C-alpha cells in the first residue's frame, strides 16, 4: 500500500447495521484521491456522469448528504436517488385529489320507528347520544318513537397527505363563488344606472352650473379647503371610487412620512356635530367626520350666508364636474359600442371626449349658420355687450392730460365711520364748536345746553347779559345757583389751602408740648417693655408642654414709642458691652 495510510468508508447515518451486513471496504489514500478527482472531472463535464439502477444520470452537483443513501434504506451501496423520489406504494394509500367529506342530510325516506343503535335523543343513526347536537328531549326518541331526525351522510375515512391536510381550499365548491360574482355584478349595474340618472337630472336642472358660479365655490371656507375631492362617504357610490386611493408607480411614496390631508382642521374651530344639536338635523358620520347636508337647513338660513353649509360643495368644486361629465360620457359611449373605461384607459377616453366636443361644437355652428341663412336676423347678433349698454351715463366729466378732474364730478373727500356735520334743532354749528369757562356749547347761539333749540343772535346777547349780572349777584343767590365742575374744583383747592394753614399754625404751638409728651410716652413704653421681658423669662422657665398656647405672641400693631423701647432694651450678642448691662 502506498503511503501506508488506510481510510475507512463509513456510510452516513452512524454505525453499520449489525444485522449481517457487510463490513465497509477499506480505501487507501490514493483511491480516495482518485475518487475526488473523478468527481471534479464529472462536475467539469470531462467525465461521464454516474448512472443509477434505472439508467438515469445522476447530477454530479447534487450534494453528498442528498445523494448518499442512508444505511437503513438500501444496504447495497449502489449509486441511486430512489430514496429521494416519492414512493408509489405509499402514494396509493392517500386519498385522491378532490375527495372530501360529504356534508348534509341523506335524500330519501325518513325513518318512522326507532332503530336499534341509533341516537337515544333524536333517533338518527349517524351519531350517538353523547354527540347529538339537538336539544335534549324530556323523553327521548328511543321511548316515544316520534320526531325521528333524518340521517346524515356517512363520512368517508380520508387519508390525506402532508399537503392535503394543509390545503385550505380542499372541499370548496367554485360554483358558490360564481353566484357571489353574479350578485355583485347586478348590484354594480344598478348603481351605475342610478348614478347616470342622477347626473342627467343635475345637468338638466343646472344645479352643477349654479354651484360653480356661487361665491362659496370660488372662495370656500378654511375648513372646507383642507378636505380633498376624494371624500367618499355615501353608500351609493360604486367601487370605482377606490381606484383613486391606489398609489400609482412613480409617485415617490414613503409610508413613514405619510400625511393625510382629508380630515385636517383647526382644533379651535367648531366641530360639525356641534353646529346644530337637533337630532333630526343633517346626519354626521363619526367615522369619516363628514356631514354632507347643511346643518342650518331646518333654521331656514341661506347656504351662502352661513360659515359652513355641509360637505356637498366638494361634489361641485374643482374638477368634480368635469370628472362626472367624463364618467357619464364613458357610460354612454360604452352603451353605443365604444370600448372605453375611465380607470382602465383614461387617455383613450380623454382623446375621444375631446374629439366628440369639437365635432359637437362644429355641428352647432353649422346648424346656427343654416338657420341664419334661412331666416335671417344676423344683424341683431352684432349688438354691443350688455356691460357697455348698462354702463353708459350722462354725467359730464372733463379731465386734464394728467388725469385730474377739470370740470364735472370731483373726487369725494375721505370720511370717517362716524357721522359728520349732522345739524339738529336749527343749529348752524355742531355741538362743541364753542368753549368758555370750562364748558362746551354751540357757536351759533352760545348755548351750553346740549340738544337745545338754536336761538341765534338773540341767544348770544342773552348769555352775555347773564354773565355780566353774575359778577354783581349777592352771596345768597350765588349759593342757590348750581355750580359748574370747574367752580367745584376751585372751591376744593381753596379748602385744602385753608386746612394746610391751620395745621401749620397748630404744629408751631404744639412743638413745645410734644417733646414733653413724647418723653412721658417713652418712659411708659420702657416700663412696659421691662415687664414684658420679665414675663417672657418666666414663661421660658416653665415646661413648654404646660405652657399656654400662643402665650408668647401678641396680635397688635406696636406704637412708635413701643418700637423705640424694644430697640433700646434689645440685647445684641455682638455688642462688647453686653456683659455689663446687668451690673
The answer to whether residues 314 and 323 touch, using CB atoms and an 8 Å cutoff, is no
pLDDT higher at 49 or 17: 49
Rounded average pLDDT over 438-466: 86
Cα(324)–Cα(208) distance, integer angstroms: 10
Confidence at 48, pLDDT banded by 50, 70, 90: very high
Cα(276)–Cα(308) distance, integer angstroms: 11
Cα(186)–Cα(180) distance, integer angstroms: 10
Pick the CATH number of 111-150 from 4.10.60, 2.20.200, 2.40.50, 3.40.50: 4.10.60
Cα(545)–Cα(540) distance, integer angstroms: 11
Cβ–Cβ contacts within 10 Å for residue 525, how many? 21
The predicted pLDDT at position 229 comes to 43
Residue 98 main-chain phi, psi, to 5 deg: 100, -15
pLDDT higher at 369 or 569: 369
At residue 493, the 3 state secondary structure works out as helix
The predicted pLDDT at position 365 comes to 93
The predicted pLDDT at position 511 comes to 61
Confidence at 244, pLDDT banded by 50, 70, 90: very low
The predicted pLDDT at position 533 comes to 87
| pLDDT tens-place string over residues 529-548 | 888 888 888 888 888 888 77
Residue 439 main-chain phi, psi, to 5 deg: -130, 145
| pLDDT tens-place string over residues 252-262 | 445 555 554 55
CA separation (Å) from 240 to 253, 333, 344?
Answer: 22, 17, 10
* Least trusted range by pLDDT, from 33-47, 266-280, 380-394, 484-498: 380-394
Rounded average pLDDT over 382-400: 74
At residue 243, the 3 state secondary structure works out as helix
Confidence at 248, pLDDT banded by 50, 70, 90: very low
DSSP state of 441: E
Confidence at 350, pLDDT banded by 50, 70, 90: very high
Rounded average pLDDT over 407-424: 73
Residue 194 has pLDDT above 80, yes or no: yes
Residue 11 has pLDDT above 60, yes or no: no
The answer to whether residues 430 and 445 touch, using CB atoms and an 8 Å cutoff, is no
pLDDT higher at 191 or 504: 191
Confidence at 475, pLDDT banded by 50, 70, 90: very low
Cα(580)–Cα(583) distance, integer angstroms: 5
Residue 442 has pLDDT above 50, yes or no: yes
Rounded average pLDDT over 176-204: 92
pTM of the model: 0.25
DSSP state of 439: E
The predicted pLDDT at position 83 comes to 86
Confidence at 234, pLDDT banded by 50, 70, 90: very low
| pLDDT tens-place string over residues 416-430 | 777 777 888 889 898
Residue 529 main-chain phi, psi, to 5 deg: -70, -40
Confidence at 354, pLDDT banded by 50, 70, 90: very high
pLDDT higher at 516 or 267: 516
Residue 192 has pLDDT above 50, yes or no: yes
Confidence at 60, pLDDT banded by 50, 70, 90: very high
Residue 478 main-chain phi, psi, to 5 deg: -65, -35
Range of 191-200, 266-275, 294-303, 485-494 with top mean pLDDT: 191-200
* Least trusted range by pLDDT, from 182-186, 230-234, 558-562: 230-234
Range of 264-273, 306-315, 384-393 with top mean pLDDT: 306-315
The answer to whether residues 293 and 283 touch, using CB atoms and an 8 Å cutoff, is yes
The answer to whether residues 42 and 49 touch, using CB atoms and an 8 Å cutoff, is yes
Share of the chain above pLDDT 90, in %: 21
The predicted pLDDT at position 148 comes to 92
Cα(339)–Cα(349) distance, integer angstroms: 9
CA separation (Å) from 232 to 240, 292, 408?
Answer: 11, 10, 60
Residue 389 has pLDDT above 80, yes or no: no
The predicted pLDDT at position 296 comes to 85
Residue 51 has pLDDT above 80, yes or no: yes
Rounded average pLDDT over 95-124: 85
Confidence at 34, pLDDT banded by 50, 70, 90: very high
The predicted pLDDT at position 411 comes to 60
| pLDDT tens-place string over residues 119-178 | 999 999 999 999 999 999 999 999 998 999 999 988 878 888 888 888 888 888 888 899
Among candidates 293, 185, 184, which has minimal Cα distance to 234? 293
Amino acid at each position: 500500500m502506498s503511503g501506508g495510510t488506510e481510510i475507512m468508508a463509513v456510510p452516513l447515518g452512524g454505525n453499520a447495521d449489525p444485522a449481517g451486513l457487510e463490513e465497509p471496504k477499506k480505501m487507501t489514500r490514493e483511491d480516495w484521491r482518485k475518487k475526488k478527482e473523478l468527481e471534479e472531472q464529472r462536475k467539469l463535464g470531462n467525465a461521464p456522469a454516474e448512472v443509477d439502477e434505472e439508467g438515469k444520470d445522476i447530477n454530479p452537483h447534487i450534494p453528498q448528504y442528498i445523494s448518499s443513501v442512508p444505511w437503513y434504506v438500501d444496504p447495497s451501496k449502489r449509486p441511486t436517488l430512489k430514496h429521494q423520489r416519492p414512493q408509489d406504494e405509499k402514494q396509493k394509500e392517500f386519498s385522491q385529489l378532490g375527495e372530501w367529506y360529504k356534508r348534509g342530510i341523506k335524500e330519501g325516506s325518513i325513518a318512522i320507528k326507532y332503530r336499534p343503535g341509533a341516537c337515544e335523543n333524536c333517533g338518527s343513526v349517524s351519531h350517538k347520544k353523547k354527540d347529538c347536537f339537538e336539544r335534549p328531549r324530556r323523553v327521548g326518541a328511543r321511548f316515544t318513537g316520534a320526531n325521528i331526525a333524518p340521517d346524515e351522510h356517512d363520512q368517508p375515512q380520508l387519508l390525506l397527505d402532508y399537503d392535503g391536510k394543509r390545503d385550505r381550499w380542499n372541499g370548496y365548491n367554485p360554483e358558490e363563488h360564481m353566484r357571489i360574482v353574479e350578485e355583485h355584478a347586478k348590484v354594480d349595474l344598478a348603481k351605475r344606472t342610478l348614478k347616470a340618472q342622477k347626473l342627467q337630472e343635475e345637468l338638466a336642472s343646472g344645479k352643477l352650473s349654479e354651484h360653480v358660479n356661487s361665491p362659496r365655490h370660488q372662495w370656500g371656507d378654511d375648513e372646507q379647503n383642507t378636505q380633498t375631492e376624494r371624500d367618499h362617504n355615501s353608500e351609493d357610490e360604486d367601487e370605482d371610487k377606490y381606484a383613486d386611493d391606489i398609489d400609482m408607480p412613480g409617485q415617490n411614496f414613503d409610508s413613514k412620512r405619510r400625511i393625510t390631508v382629508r380630515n385636517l382642521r383647526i382644533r379651535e374651530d367648531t366641530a360639525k356635530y356641534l353646529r346644530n344639536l337637533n337630532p333630526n338635523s343633517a346626519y354626521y358620520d363619526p367615522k369619516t367626520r363628514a356631514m354632507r347636508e347643511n346643518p342650518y337647513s331646518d333654521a331656514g338660513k341661506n347656504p351662502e350666508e352661513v360659515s359652513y353649509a355641509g360637505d356637498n360643495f366638494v361634489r361641485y368644486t374643482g374638477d368634480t364636474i368635469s370628472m362626472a361629465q367624463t364618467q357619464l360620457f364613458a357610460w354612454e359611449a360604452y352603451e353605443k359600442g365604444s370600448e372605453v373605461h375611465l380607470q382602465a384607459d383614461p387617455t383613450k377616453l380623454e382623446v375621444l371626449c375631446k374629439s366628440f366636443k369639437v365635432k359637437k361644437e362644429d355641428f352647432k355652428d353649422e346648424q346656427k349658420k343654416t338657420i341664419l341663412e334661412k331666416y335671417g336676423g344676423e344683424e341683431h347678433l352684432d349688438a354691443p355687450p350688455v356691460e357697455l349698454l348698462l354702463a353708459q351715463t350722462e354725467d359730464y366729466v372733463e379731465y386734464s392730460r394728467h388725469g385730474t378732474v377739470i370740470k364735472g364730478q370731483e373726487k369725494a373727500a375721505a370720511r370717517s365711520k362716524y357721522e359728520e356735520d349732522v345739524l339738529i334743532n336749527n343749529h348752524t354749528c355742531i355741538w362743541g364748536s364753542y368753549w368758555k369757562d370750562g364748558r362746551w356749547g354751540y357757536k351759533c347761539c352760545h348755548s351750553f345746553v346740549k340738544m337745545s333749540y338754536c336761538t341765534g343772535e338773540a341767544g348770544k346777547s342773552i348769555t352775555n347779559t347773564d354773565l355780566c349780572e353774575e359778577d354783581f349777584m349777592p352771596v345768597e343767590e350765588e349759593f342757590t345757583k348750581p355750580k359748574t365742575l370747574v367752580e367745584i374744583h376751585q372751591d376744593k383747592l381753596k379748602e385744602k389751602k385753608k386746612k394746610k394753614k391751620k395745621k401749620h399754625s397748630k404744629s408751631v404751638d404744639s412743638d413745645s408740648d410734644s417733646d414733653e409728651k413724647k418723653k412721658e410716652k417713652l418712659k411708659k413704653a420702657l416700663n412696659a417693655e421691662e415687664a414684658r421681658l420679665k414675663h417672657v423669662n418666666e414663661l421660658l422657665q416653665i415646661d413648654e408642654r404646660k405652657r399656654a398656647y400662643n402665650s408668647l405672641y401678641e396680635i397688635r400693631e406696636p406704637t412708635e414709642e413701643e418700637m423705640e423701647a424694644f430697640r433700646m432694651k434689645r440685647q445684641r450678642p455682638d455688642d462688647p458691652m453686653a456683659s455689663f448691662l446687668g451690673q
